[in-house]
Amino acid sequence: MVKKKTCIFISGQGSNLKNLIFRARDHNFPIKISLVISNNKNAYGIKYAKKYNIPHVLIDTKIKNYENKILFYLKKYKISFICLAGYMRIISDKIIRNFEKKIINIHPSLLPKFKGLNTFSRILKNKEKKTGCTVHYVNNKLDDGDIIVKKTFFIKSSDNETTLKQKTHKLEYKAYPEAIIKILRRN
Ligand code: GRF
């Protein structure tokens, strides 16, 4: 099987990146992580790229024409698939046009519910019975695009923001690899 050369975009902790790095070691897993892009120099996740010898670049999205810089590196590393993993920026049209249906994202709620930030506090405030995570294709709207995989759990009365975050992350480590396999295995 030819693995797709993949770039993971991060801004923070990078635990999904770490999980995907481990999963991608399996020769049956359809991606090879060839590049990590971060827009935040303090992103903890950069440590995983360093530790596992994955090329990584920091691209400040506040600079003019930053998209050209992103596209330059995606081309340089022959990237054909992109996973957003805690990347706190909207992907601009310019990049989406070059990677139509080739960019996916993971979000810590059951989309279309609770798009955007502060998901856990809003979920609790809304007294939701269940929550989970969603992997979806990326378009130019926030947390939008066709859904690939959704995973759910029931919220307990004892749950708080911290436990919801932990439980959601745990599900994400299953959902993201599952979504990648679902859309790429048959190619
Ligand atoms: C995850 O909860 C993901 O759903 C959201 O950002 C978080 C990233 O976590 N988009 P990490 O950086 O992978 O640990």
Residue with tokens 């992350």: 169
Give the global pTM: 0.96
Please give the Cα distance from 56 to 43 (Å, whole number).
Answer: 12
Beta bridge partners of 56: 36
CA 85 to ligand 1 center in whole angstroms = 6
Residue 187: per-residue pLDDT: 54
Average pLDDT of 89-116?
A: 95
16 lines ligand 1 (CB under 6 A): yes
**3-class DSSP assignment, residue 160:** coil
Question: Which tens digits make up the pLDDT trace of 26-63?
Answer: 999 999 999 999 999 999 999 999 999 999 999 999 99
DSSP state of 22: H
Nearest CA to ligand 1 atom 8: 86
DSSP state of 166: H
Contact by Cβ (8 Å): 94, 67: yes
